[in-house]
Amino acid sequence: MLDKLSREERLQLMRFVCSFAWADLEIQPKERKYISRLITRLHLSEEEKAQVKTWLEVPPETEALDPQLIPRAHRELFLDTARKMIEADGKIDPEEAESLRLLEQLTA
């Protein structure tokens, strides 16, 4: 399904993934590794990779994270990818769980 995403949808997915990595205010090494693998799977361009690296230094702006803008056809993919992001380090912090619950509600 990842291969069916447009360039903007890939960046939108990575915006959400990076925001979930920041949910507990600290990006763990295993979370960075998950993001790195996702970058590879999405075949991001150098420009897109640079943007994701920026989001790993400074969280994406919240106004760019409107769940209603996630294409209906990709909502389950976004939820699944966000879920895997918060599970990447082997523990789910309350902030991460709450962010996922909110995303689930807003995309239902």
**Which CATH number fits the domain that encloses residue 11?**
1.10.3680.10
User: Angle at Cα 38 formed by Cα 104 and Cα 60, nearest 5°?
Assistant: 60
| Mean pLDDT, each 10-residue run in order, the chain (108 residues) | 89 95 92 97 96 96 89 94 94 90 91
Residue 24 pLDDT: 87
Distance CA 108, CA 105 (A): 5
Number of domains in the chain: 1
- Domain span holding position 90: 2-107
Q: Are 20 and 96 in contact, with CB atoms under 8 Å apart? A: yes
